[in-house]
Amino acid sequence: MNAPERSIELMNALTVDVEDYFQVSAMAPHIARDSWDAQPCRVERNVQRLLALFAQHKAHATFFTLGWIAERYPQLVRDILAGGHELASHGYGHLRASDQSPVDFRQDVQRAKALLEDIGGQPVRGYRAPSFSIGHSNPWAFDVLLEAGYLYSSSVYPVQHDHYGMPDAPRFPYQSRPGLTEIPITTTRVMGRNLPAGGGGYFRLAPYKLSRWALRRVNAIDRRPAIFYMHPWEIDPGQPRVAGAGLKTRFRHYVNLARTETRLGHLLSDFRWGRVDEVFDLRAA
């Protein structure tokens, strides 16, 4: 089925998961968590590049920020807010929700929320689980988020993937619990299957035209806004290479890093972009 040549004029949600290259879940077997402070950190310069690019295109975004990053780079949090962007939580230590107990998860999301609010001076209403790690195995995570005071989550990706995914989840925002809206990463429905359309590695590895087609299709055929995500390290081809990473991990992480910033510029020009709290009605999903 052919997508229309132009998307209808919907505003889509642009999101950034603020973490550094050595915090990526696929790199966890090769970089000890207690060595993070010894790694050359590149998140500051990469987020500043994104802020400049977004300002150039008059686009606003939601930055799902690790508490670990915010604690060490509080000025970065203030710069995000000064640019008119939304500050949201990515947890504190980039631990998968599915790898934590309910008690540990509660401590992580509460710690991150309190830290971000203390630095930013504004309520933090949104959360995204590292590696989209809320699914059928841990639905209690939604209850914890609601209890912790979050208004929405963007922690489900309705696709089949070897590290994450809940393909039978709703494709568009829904109430995971009364008072808590889940905003899944965008997919497009083709021949009975959900195909990824919301960024990440798919945006880097596949031709840009495919991402543009999928997003236009969601806007024009589903008539719904999309939610797109990326990471600061995805525009950084000069980042250190992690020793010991397998072939699949290296392919997923390093291919096309040098092209991503240019592709992102095209994306910002081809669609309208705003913050999650601007794009979605969080009271009536």
Residue type present at position 21:
Y
pLDDT tens-place string over residues 45-54: 999 999 999 9
User: 11-279, what's its fold?
Assistant: TIM Barrel (3.20.20)
pTM of the model: 0.94
Any idea where the domains of the chain sit in the sequence?
Answer: 11-279
The Cα 59–Cα 21 span in angstroms is 24
List strand residue ranges (DSSP E) for the chain, in order.
11-18, 62-65, 86-89, 126-127, 152-153, 174-177, 180-182, 187-190, 193-196, 227-230, 272-274
pLDDT number for residue 2: 46
The Cα 84–Cα 80 span in angstroms is 7
**What phi-psi label fits residue 81: left (phi over 0), alpha (psi between -120 and 50 degrees) or beta?**
alpha
Average pLDDT over every residue of 242-262: 89
Average pLDDT over every residue of 191-201: 90
pLDDT band, very low/low/confident/very high, at 249 (cuts 50, 70, 90): confident
The Cα 25–Cα 132 span in angstroms is 11
pLDDT band, very low/low/confident/very high, at 44 (cuts 50, 70, 90): very high
The Cα 230–Cα 224 span in angstroms is 20
The Cα 186–Cα 158 span in angstroms is 8
Strands 152-153 and 126-127 turn out to be parallel
pLDDT tens-place string over residues 147-191: 999 999 999 999 865 566 688 899 999 999 999 999 999 999 998
What is the sign of the dihedral through the CA atoms of 200, 206, 212 and 213? negative
Residue type present at position 280:
F
pLDDT band, very low/low/confident/very high, at 120 (cuts 50, 70, 90): very high
Residue type present at position 61:
A
Average pLDDT over every residue of 214-223: 96
Q: What percent of the chain has pLDDT over 90?
A: 83
DSSP 76-133: HHHHHHHTTPEEEE--SS---GGGS-HHHHHHHHHHHHHHHHHHH-S---EE--GGG-
pLDDT tens-place string over residues 62-80: 999 999 999 999 999 999 9
Cα–Cα–Cα angle for 72, 77, 79, nearest 5°? 125
User: Which whole-number Å values give the CA distances from 268 to 14, 50, 77, 153, 272, in the listed order?
Assistant: 9, 11, 22, 24, 7
HSE of 283 in the Cβ direction (CA atoms, 13 Å)?
A: 1
User: Which whole-number Å values give the CA distances from 62 to 86, 99, 159, 222, in the listed order?
Assistant: 4, 25, 22, 23
The Cα 142–Cα 47 span in angstroms is 29
